[in-house]
């Protein structure tokens, strides 16, 4: 009986130890009843558990055909206060070296309203604030390391036009890199409204 008990206790210790170790390995997902449901046989954009033999780089995702226009950046229509419709966000008219042209000619197609500015503020907080700071003073946490982030309300920038701001978000300027891939044109114009508020330095 003693020997049996010793064996049982020994076994239980080993089992417990195994379970503990299998549960705690952070690199393992643990047991799965139907692994195919987690590692899908069908191609999924954001799950890549085996190399794809058809696409470049073995990826499930692939680049769209050259010249593809994303639906989300397609020109959208805005009805202005006076009833006129602006149907061009003017995103195809700008190239990286057209800053001066953009600054002089581009006009924000989204009419200002308090709601639009609030949306711009939220978008600013998501996309810009970590460098440009909560009040646009160039004092975000990242700016402390990245350096060279200007103050919107500084003498050189306080009078800059909306077209200029739109162009800089789209194509970057100086040390700032282009953000066209992350922020859609519509979002950019909304951010422009909020940045123009920050230019006042209030």
| Residue ranges that bind other proteins, judged by CB under 8 A | 2, 5, 8-9, 12, 15-16, 19, 23-24, 26-34, 36-38, 40, 42, 44-48, 57, 59, 72, 125-127, 129-130, 138, 140-143, 145-151, 153-157, 174-175, 177, 179, 181-182
* 110 vs 168, beta carbon nearer other proteins: 168
Contact call for residues 108 and 189 (beta carbons, < 8 A) = yes
| Structure-token match 């990245």, residue found | 146
* C-alpha to C-alpha distances, 41 to 32, 52, 54, 55, 62, nearest whole angstrom: 15, 11, 14, 15, 17
- Shortest approach of other proteins to residue 145 CB, angstroms? 5
CB nearer to other proteins: give 25 or 81: 25
Task: Considering the complex, state which of residue 59 and residue 86 has its C-beta at the smaller distance from other proteins.
Answer: 59
Nearer to other proteins (CB atom), residue 82 or residue 97 = 97
* Angstrom distances, CA of residue 94 to CA of 14, 33, 56, 106, 170: 68, 53, 31, 9, 9
Residues 164, 118: contact at Cβ < 8 Å?
Answer: no
Alpha-helix runs per DSSP H in 30-146 = 35-38, 99-105, 114-127, 129-132, 143-146
Return the number of the residue (157 or 198) whose C-beta is nearest other proteins: 157
Q: C-beta of 104: minimal distance to other proteins in Å?
A: 16
- Taking the complex as a whole, the smallest distance from the CB of residue 39 to other proteins amounts, in Å, to 8
Closest separation between CB of residue 161 and other proteins, Å? 15
State in angstroms the smallest separation of the CB of 17 from other proteins: 12
Which residues, at least 6 apart from 51, have a Cβ–Cβ distance to it below 8 Å?
58
């Amino acid at each position: 009986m003693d020997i049996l008990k010793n064996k049982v206790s020994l076994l239980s210790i080993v089992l417990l130890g195994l379970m503990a170790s299998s549960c705690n390995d952070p690199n393992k997902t643990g047991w799965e009843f139907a692994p195919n449901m987690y590692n899908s046989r069908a191609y999924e954009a954001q799950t890549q558990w085996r190399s794809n033999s058809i696409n470049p780089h073995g990826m499930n995702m692939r680049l769209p055909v050259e010249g593809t226009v994303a639906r989300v950046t397609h020109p959208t229509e805005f009805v202005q206060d006076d009833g006129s419709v602006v149907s061009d966000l003017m995103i195809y008219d700008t190239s990286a070296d057209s800053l001066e042209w953009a600054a002089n000619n581009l006009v924000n197609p989204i009419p200002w309203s308090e709601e639009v500015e609030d949306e711009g503020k939220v978008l600013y907080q998501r996309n810009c604030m970590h460098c440009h700071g909560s009040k646009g003073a160039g004092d975000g946490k990242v700016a402390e390391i990245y350096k060279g982030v200007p103050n919107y309300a500084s003498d050189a920038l306080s009078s800059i036009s909306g077209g200029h701001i739109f162009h800089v978000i789209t194509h970057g300027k100086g040390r700032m890199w282009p953000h066209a891939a992350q922020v859609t044109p519509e979002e950019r114009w909304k951010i422009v409204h909020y940045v123009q508020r920050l230019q006042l330095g209030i």
